[in-house]
Amino acid sequence: MATLAKHLASARRPFEGLLLLPVAIFIAVAFLALGYVAHILWPRWPEAPVAADAPALPIVVAGVLFNIPPAAIRVPVQRRAGVQERLDLVYLWPTLTPPDPQARLSLDSPLLTGDRIFVTIAASGGTLSPGERLKLIYPRYMQAPAMLGPDGLTLATFQETSPYRGEDLVYDAAATDRFLARCTRNGKGPTRGSCLAERRLGEADITVRFPSDWITNWRQVADAVDRLVAQMRPARG
């Protein structure tokens, strides 16, 4: 009997070892998964922003690569290379150069005279492009048929009950992908109206904000947006 018991025990050991192997593998995989999650969620010190006078930074927004001078980036924490969800930029007009980070604010500075344009780059998030919105969305809210605007532009006014109340839609009917903007009018006193012109580049939306007074020179603005987009994109070898 003793010999039989020893034989059964020795036969059972390899079988138990086979059962323990999957358990050991499962535990090892679970530890690796927990370690990865802990690595991802572990708090880290934020990277120090790059100095405003540093060379242009390679930044990816919505899968699109841009080269952005740090001095043009308005939010200091955005002054870093790599992938970002959004960029807030400012450029002097009409040079399209970043403002001097050492310049002091004065009564005749571009910040007060309005000689700046502001740019936002963000993911489109699957929304309709500006041209598609012109065809499918905006006509629902227009107050009256579109009319001729400044220097060949098409002008349409939105209904006061619409989400775009107080705004006008201006666009180049021959090239809506190049110039299409929503503009507010000048208010009482020093309150100036502004325009938002949009471009779609890949999955990134580029929105340029400028004073609505510039609509009379919209061709110059459209050319400037073309140049600005070109200078933000890396040169192709």
CA 205 – CA 199 distance, rounded (Å): 6
Tell me, what's the pLDDT at 237? 53
Tokens of 114: 């309005």
Q: Which residues are paired to 147 by β-bridges? A: 155
Residue 87 near residue 61, CB atoms below 8 Å = yes
Residue 56 near residue 67, CB atoms below 8 Å = yes
What pTM does this model have?
0.75
Tokens of 178: 């190049």
Whose tokens are 């018991």? That residue is 5
Residue 137 predicted with pLDDT over 70 = yes
Q: Whose CA is closest to 208, among 147, 118, 132?
A: 118
Tokens of 97: 């150069």
Tell me, what's the pLDDT at 51? 80
Tokens of 192: 């100036």
CA 233 – CA 224 distance, rounded (Å): 14
Q: Which residues contact 103 (CB under 8 A, 6 or more apart)?
A: 109
Tell me, what's the pLDDT at 124? 96
More confident residue, 65 or 28: 65
Residue 85 near residue 77, CB atoms below 8 Å = no
Phi-psi group of 152: left, alpha or beta (phi > 0 → left; psi -120 to 50 → alpha; rest → beta): left
pLDDT tens, residue by residue, 68-112: 999 999 999 999 999 999 999 999 999 999 998 776 555 455 444
Tokens of 17: 């070892």
